[in-house]
Structure 1
Amino acid sequence: MCRKSCCKYCCAFFPPILVALQLGGWRDQPELVREVGKTYFAKTDNYEAFTLTDRHRDEFFRDGATLLKGVLKPEVVKKLHEYVAPIDYFDPRNIGNLWMMSDEILDFYLFGPLGDIARQVFQSPQAVTAHLAPSAQLQRDFISRRHLNSTNGWHIDRTECQMGDQPSKYLSTALARLAVPLIVEGGVRGTQIINQSKYAAAMSEGTREEYLAGKSMYRKEGRFEQWMLWDPDTAVPVLPGVKLDEEMIIEHWMEPGDIVLFNTCLWHCSPPWVGPEQELGLQPTYAPSNHIAHDPPTYTDMMASWCLYDEFAGKPIGEVNSSCYPYAYPEDKRPKVGSTLTLKRRPQRDVNGKPVRNLQLDPWLSLEVHVLCHCASGCPGDLQPPGVT
């Protein structure tokens, strides 16, 4: 039934949606200008250096994730929470790459300890980037915001995981996230992540060899999320040829100031909400100097939040001087205090003379995304998504 339903949706909706979008065209977005180093979050005495241990490296490169305890001071976390909480989540400009809209967030990413942590990861002996000169450039960020009993389903992040199904060591294309929950007090359950070594062990020998060599293609199953007709509470990803179970899930209990470092190419999802307060987090990603700049798939950046860098598309980001990938490390390449960054986002999709709105506010666009992605990837094998009859 699943394949028939998919075909039915495609036949009914895909042609008119495609025509409407092609006729709609694109709308340029205005320039954004950020001033560097003038906010509370640029003060270096707000932070302490954090040194990765051998245990951190072993866990990250073996299992795909590691918990970094006490990276941020509680007062910094509180200030971040106070700043982020009022931001309008339903404003399309705030969906992704918030640093392009905010001097405060940009300063935190450039002057805080995260860039140096990323640099240490890139220089780890297990990484394919170990031979590079020490550096870390900001690649992307977004706000995570959860409340009530909300969760999302299992997925990988195609904006960071850019060359297929890859283990942690391939840091130029399997970018690592530094997940920063903004916990003012108490604690929170961290992102659930499928253990990398157990994931590889569950594969056939041939598939495992290809995976460990960094040559596996993306799995066609895509995303196990509600908008893909899956129950978001599906226990583990359902992958043909790979038997996964809940014992393979990594989940950390996180307290104020803790950060989780993980491979964005691993299947992951948000854990069940523990409440009672709304859970906020920042989700930045840094890239090494040999990372190749290219646009993400359109469906992953529907709100056109990505930085426009046509003049150096396809080139290593360390070879060009672009505001789209500002240096957090080393300090001598970081934007100077008082300097400005001039940025522009990708053209925004324009339908009927109006820029598209947030997916959560536009059911037509939500339907478009569902149909395009669901029909492009196909249903997962011959399986029926839970809850669909």
Structure 2
Amino acid sequence: MDKVRVAVVGCGSISERRHIPEYAANPNVELVAFADPVLERAQGYADLYNAKAYTDYKELLAAGGFDAVSVCTPNALHAEVAIAASKAGAHVLVEKPMAVSDEEALEMIAAAEQNNVFLMVAHNQRLMPPHLKAKEILKQGHLGRVLTFRTAFGHAGPEGWSIDGKNSWFFRKGEAVMGAMGDLGVHKSDMIRWLLDDEVVNVSAFIGTLDKTDTDVDDNAICLLRMASGAIGSLVASWTSYRGEDNGTVLWCENGVMKIGTDPVDQVIVELRNGTIERYQIGEIATNEKQVASGVMDEFISCIQTGTAPIISGEEGRRSLNVILAAFQSQAEGKTITLNA
């Protein structure tokens, strides 16, 4: 088919560092429109790619001329923009968390189905080479069942990442709704579900604002998860990892341990009970400090061109979101929350 015409709604840091350059690098994409409340941001990209600029995404959608839309807005607008784009007949790639409530997630999924378009969620951790290698090793079976795990994602906070620094929407609860858990925790809930090919059934969490000032969104969370298989583990999300990012996962299994993203050289390490050690140097895991291609945009475009439904679907995004929502409920109610696997 012809090139996929893509419009980008929201021209902040995630667009600047991931969506726009990865679309631009794909020979099957034509960037045709950009929308951002700050016209200069949208106009800068429009000038660069001979596209159109808008301050209002509704005007962009009304103008048409696109096949797909990337939704890179503050969290509270994800559902609104994604549903409107679906109704405009566009395939939708939405940043994580896909929504801020289960009701919104269901509405987004329904809108895509009703308008016969794809809905994909930008959970890039599934596409990182070390995580893909780890899943391949698990499937080989020689580690046996995963019994316990630890997965974490921490960096120094969005003030060093967001285009607006300390004035970022990430710190305004009305726009962000959730902090480190929406930014980082949902990545790990998605990754652990996918990696273990398992579902979370119980969540118990401590979530708080420990160090960031002038904000009431969470900057740290520690969650205990029980999977449908019986495996138990911890999920950590932090905006206060001030000396070095953490995106590591450790799986303790029947026959050994697998360490992912814990070593600067060997991205995957398998230590078996019989004493043998396997080390794999395979790609990198994208972090704020080191941007590497996410693969998300290429996957999205491939789905559109081949007519293949996205693996990182709205339904998958919803399941990962619900783990995070359950964690907030656990914090609020002081009890363990049960999910339907």
Q: Same fold (TM over 0.5)?
A: no
Give the TM-score of the pair, scaled to structure 2. 0.26
Which one has the bigger strand percentage? 2
Give the greater-gyration-radius structure (CA).
Answer: 1
TM-score using structure 1 length: 0.24
Structure ranking higher on relative contact order (CA contacts 8 Å, 6+ apart): 1
Greater helix proportion: 2
